[in-house]
């Protein structure tokens, strides 16, 4: 009861809207080689909804992260017969994290399992010529992240996040060989 009264005395809200945050981050991804393919640095976009529990340390977050990269190389384990192209990896993730706060600064650790949906192109030939076909593969995926936040108010912060993604599936650009690191900057704001 005393913490609730102290929060109210300091002008802090304690309703559901003040516990739901929306982080949005933009940055770069730097993948490793995937089964003989060279994957170039690419773009990462992350949008999330986060619920912070009443102790403000533990939180639950749902993420939609999209990573876009170009690749080149030649390998037989890939589902695509195109040796240079673009791959898109969308991660749908949900997991838990823990936040350490010090005045206006906060640092967090996050672990999120989920799905990795990888998109890529392949070609086929028919009587009229060559056809470009969009393909996709869905595999289990993981993300672990470390982030830092600076709060201007209780409901608005700028943040930086370093993330590690892992696709758990068959070898190739759409499978277990794809595990990029990302570095992103963005904002976090509450619902109200």
Tell me the CA distances in angstroms from 67 to 138, 154, 158, one per residue in order. Answer: 15, 30, 21
Specify the higher pLDDT residue, 108 or 166. 108
The answer to the question of residue 126 being in a domain is yes
| pLDDT value for 28 | 93
The answer to the question of residue 19 being in a domain is no
Number of domains in the chain: 1
| φ and ψ of 2, to 5 deg | -60, -45
| pLDDT value for 173 | 52
| pLDDT value for 187 | 96
The answer to the question of residue 1 being in a domain is no
| pLDDT value for 15 | 75
**Model confidence at 35, in pLDDT bands (50, 70, 90)?**
low
The answer to the question of residue 45 being in a domain is yes
Task: Using the predicted structure, report yes or no on whether residue 174 has a pLDDT greater than 80.
Answer: no
| pLDDT value for 157 | 96
Tens digit of pLDDT for each residue in 9-34? Answer: 344 556 777 889 999 999 998 876 55
The answer to the question of residue 43 being in a domain is yes
What is the overall mean pLDDT for the chain?
81
| pLDDT value for 89 | 86
Tens digit of pLDDT for each residue in 62-118? Answer: 999 999 887 776 554 455 666 677 778 899 999 999 999 988 999 999 999 999 988
CATH number at residue 103: 2.40.160.20
The answer to the question of residue 17 being in a domain is no
| pLDDT value for 3 | 43
The answer to the question of residue 105 being in a domain is yes
The answer to the question of residue 138 being in a domain is yes
Specify the higher pLDDT residue, 46 or 14. 46
Name the residue range of residue 45's domain: 32-190
| DSSP-assigned beta bridge partners for residue 132 | 123
Tens digit of pLDDT for each residue in 125-163? Answer: 888 888 777 778 888 999 999 999 999 998 999 999 999
Query: What DSSP line would sit under 96-146, residue for residue?
Result: EEEEEEETTEEEEEEEEEEEEEEEEEEEEEETTEEEEEEEEEEEEEEEEEE
For residue 91, what is the enclosing H or E element? strand 84-102
């Amino acid at each position: 009861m005393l913490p609730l009264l102290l929060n109210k005395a300091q002008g802090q809200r304690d309703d559901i809207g003040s516990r739901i945050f929306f982080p949005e981050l933009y940055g770069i991804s730097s993948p490793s080689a995937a089964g003989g393919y060279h994957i170039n640095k690419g773009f990462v976009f992350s949008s999330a909804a986060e619920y912070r529990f009443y102790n403000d340390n533990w939180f639950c977050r749902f993420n939609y992260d999209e990573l876009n990269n170009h690749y080149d190389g030649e390998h037989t384990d890939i589902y695509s017969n195109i040796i240079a192209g673009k791959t898109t990896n969308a991660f749908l993730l949900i997991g838990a994290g823990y936040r350490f706060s010090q005045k206006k600064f906060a640092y967090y650790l996050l672990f999120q399992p989920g799905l990795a949906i990888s998109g890529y192109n392949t070609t086929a030939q028919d009587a009229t010529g060559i056809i470009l076909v969009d393909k996709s593969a869905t595999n289990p995926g993981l993300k672990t992240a470390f982030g830092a936040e600076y709060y201007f108010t209780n409901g608005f912060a700028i943040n930086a996040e370093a993330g590690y993604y892992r696709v758990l599936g068959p070898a190739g650009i759409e499978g277990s060989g794809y595990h990029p690191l990302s570095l992103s900057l963005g904002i976090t704001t509450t619902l109200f």
